[in-house]
A and B are shown apart, each in its own frame.
Chain A
Amino acid sequence: MNLHEYQARDLLKVAGIPMFDGDVASTPTEAEAIARRLGGTVVVKAQVHVGGRGKAGGVKLARNPAEALECASQILGMTIKGLVVNKVLVVPAADIATESYVGLILDRASQKPVFMVSDAGGVDIEEVAAKTPEKITRMAIDPRDGLLPHQALKLALALYRDWAHVKAATKILTQLYQVFMANGCALAEINPLVTTPDGKVLALDAKIIIDDNELDRRPDLAVLRDESAEEPSEVAARRANLTFIKLDGDVGCVVNGAGLAMATMDLVKYHGGEPANFLDIGGSSNPEKVVNALKIITADPAVKVILFNIFGGITRTDDVANGIVTATKQFKVGVPIVIRLTGTNEEEAFRILESVGMSAMNDMDAAVAKAVELAKGAA
């Protein structure tokens, strides 16, 4: 789960990490009030879960409260890469001497939290990593020991040579590690970590991703989810216990299992079509799930055909067939449905479908080819 910048700032602030004052606003007047309290020039930043906010016009400089009001009214409500901006963060326009990068991530390879720091920080860190990887210092941390003082010092020395800066950074790194472990993070990033002309070390921007698997046991973190900042169909899917990602094509896909779902999308493309979505109905075979899946997919007007690809293992294919029949009785699907069912209880599933005049196929390639053909015919 992605946190907004302002939510990530809150977690860092609670841990004692120094940062510029600032606050989040939902209306232009709130933004104006924050700018007045802060005084001087401020930055108004869109709070959305996409990169490239600045380039899209979602980050603006305001020299006084009146301009902050103006900027906020421009940014609030704007759409960046399909997501509507509902909140802005207002922070002082900082006077910055240096910019560094500090990231902490759960690393697949070492199977540990790994720090990555670089004094060549700022927004171009990926380019730094690609062209001059030696400028990035990495360190895997054994969670049983935690971040040891000499490890934090070594990382801080990779960032700064001024001893006051080193001391401040050592503390910040230790606090960031605590935030990471205490909140079940998959990622915690300060980019940039800045020094100011008067010698302070401060976190300017933060990004935190919480491991979704933590949310069941951490209701305090689960409430941070901002559903208004997500694609509405993806929110509806999650509430129905489905994994759904909207895409741009016209072949709607309903599949059990993430790997098979991706392979089905690949096969749609292989046969010359474009998938409209990724949708995994998961392992259980509750007919209600199928009904919800069909509702979510048919809400997308671009969908010209719906393709079911179900390999019954734990999932019973007769339950899926029942779900399809129930859904078509409840509401008008409006587009052709191509069904591929194989595995557990498939004879019963075929019988259920045939009893209402529907048919199913056994072979994945044949079903995908047919769905693509129907989508093209409808285009």
Chain B
Amino acid sequence: MSIWINNDTRLVVQGITGREGSFHARQMLEYGTNIVAGVTPGKGGQTFEGTVPVFHTVAEAVAETKANCSVIYVPPAMAAGAIQEAADAGIELVVCITEGVPVLDMTYVMPYLAQRNVRLIGPNCPGLITPGEAKVGIIPGSICTPGPIGLVSRSGTLTYEVVHHLTGAGLGQSTCVGIGGDPIVGSNFIDVIAAFNADPKTEAIVMLGEIGGTAEQEAAEYIREHVRKPVCGFVAGQTAPKGRRMGHAGAIISGSSGTAEEKFQAFEAAKIGIMRRPADVVALLKARLK
């Protein structure tokens, strides 16, 4: 009952000996995630926590351990290269947690990935978790519980807030996916929602958006056309001031001001349940799951 990660996930942690990487690798191990390898160039041959072999490259890790999923905790300037390395090594799902990746780097990474059979989540994201099976990233396992709700979000702690409400009301989650808040990310709302729509164990979907861009409006249009499962959605930033304007070009390129109100209107047109605040998720889902 999940998408993309489960008990069969064989995870390699890129940057496993670093400060962030080692901390979160321990958390993921504790959760029960099957971490089969770590990668830090120059530290091949070491062992992490006495159980996880460390390799110089992802290719070596894949050859030795058949890893099929990678999570990246390397510094921003190295993140694009780490993503490309994982893709070249045949990893199917790459999750980049690193925050602060230069956006121009991502304009090179995306066409590189398009030529290979790989899905990227992030960068600048909290990763994903299939409660009770596997956690890839930094979403706290303790707040999640298995169940029928699929959750996709652009933010981190706001995701935790909503999951906390769901779990508290006995609404477990199939998988929670944080797609990241950067301008260019590997997977968007539509990618995740399509996967939830195809997953027989996901009965309802929650999407948490933010102001800026048009990803939420596009997702709403997709939902209107393709999704018959109940969906409810939130947009953070209803009270945000008209943020930093991207010159004239920002408004022209999107044909949209990217405001929360505009996104909520798109939700309404797609019959998506409107969460005016995070706590609304419980009542909306309970009414729709009857």
Footprint of B on A, CB under 8 Å?
2, 51, 101, 103-109, 111-114, 116, 125-126, 129, 133, 136, 138, 142-144, 181, 184, 186-187, 189, 191, 207, 209, 211, 213-214, 216-217, 245, 247, 255-260, 262-263, 265-270, 275, 278, 283, 311-315, 342-344, 364-365
CB-CB < 8 A to B255: which residues of A?
129, 133
| Contact (Cβ within 8 A) B107 A111 | yes
Partner of A262, one of B126, B236, B251: B236
B211 to chain A, nearest CB (A): 7
CB-CB < 8 A to B104: which residues of A?
106, 143, 181, 184, 211, 214
| Contact (Cβ within 8 A) A103 B107 | no
| Contact (Cβ within 8 A) B153 A187 | no
| Contact (Cβ within 8 A) A143 B252 | no
- Contact A216/B100 with A106-B107, A189-B248 known, Cβ cut-off 8 Å: yes
CB-CB < 8 A to B76: which residues of A?
213, 216
| Contact (Cβ within 8 A) A191 B248 | yes
B285 close to chain A: CB less than 8 A: no
| Contact (Cβ within 8 A) B210 A111 | no
Q: How many residue pairs between the two chains, A and B, have CB atoms under 8 Å in the bound complex?
A: 175
Footprint of A on B, CB under 8 Å?
76-77, 100-104, 106-108, 110-111, 126, 138-140, 143, 153-161, 164, 181, 183-184, 208, 210-211, 213-215, 234, 236-241, 244-255, 260, 276-279
B279 to chain A, nearest CB (A): 6
CB-CB < 8 A to B139: which residues of A?
313
| Contact (Cβ within 8 A) A213 B248 | no
* Main secondary structure on A side of the interface with B: mixed
Partner of A209, one of B161, B246, B253: B246
| Contact (Cβ within 8 A) A211 B102 | yes
| Contact (Cβ within 8 A) B181 A258 | yes
Which 9 A/B pairs are nearest by Cβ-Cβ distance? Answer: A259-B155, A257-B157, A259-B158, A103-B249, A262-B236, A260-B157, A105-B249, A129-B252, A262-B237
CB-CB < 8 A to A267: which residues of B?
277-278
A108-B184, A364-B278 known, 11 other contacts, Cβ within 8 Å = A51-B245, A105-B253, A116-B252, A126-B248, A129-B251, A142-B111, A187-B249, A191-B248, A213-B76, A263-B278, A270-B277
